[in-house]
């Protein structure tokens, strides 16, 4: 999966601006970063790649199915 960037300095600054102490802001930022790293989050790029793989597989299965149906029709007639 793709890496998602996380600006910890900006996050800490925003928390401090909202009234939290620097220690609180740093602790929350580290906890959020750790949780984010452990989560397996799919990006839009990941989803597009998966979509392309599914389209290719579906096309392949469709071609095989059409070939099988054509073969059965030839055998029956």
Per-residue pLDDT of the chain (77 residues; tens, 9 = 90+): 556 677 889 999 999 999 999 999 999 999 988 887 777 778 889 999 999 999 999 999 999 999 999 999 999 98
For the chain, what is the total number of helices (H) and then of strands (E)? 3, 0
Task: Give residue limits of the domains in the chain.
Answer: 1-41, 43-77
Residue 3: per-residue pLDDT: 64
What Å distances lie between residue 55 and 67, 69, 74, CA to CA?
A: 18, 21, 29
Q: What is the pLDDT of residue 61?
A: 97
Distance of alpha carbon 68 from alpha carbon 75, whole angstroms: 11
Q: What is the pLDDT of residue 2?
A: 56
pTM for the whole thing? 0.51
């Amino acid at each position: 999966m793709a890496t998602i960037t996380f600006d910890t300095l900006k996050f800490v600054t925003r928390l401090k601006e909202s009234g939290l102490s620097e220690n609180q802001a740093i602790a929350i930022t580290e906890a959020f970063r750790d949780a984010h790293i452990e989560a397996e989050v799919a990006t839009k790029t990941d989803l597009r790649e998966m979509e392309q793989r599914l389209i290719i597989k579906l096309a392949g299965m469709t071609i095989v199915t059409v070939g099988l149906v054509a073969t059965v029709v030839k055998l029956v007639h």
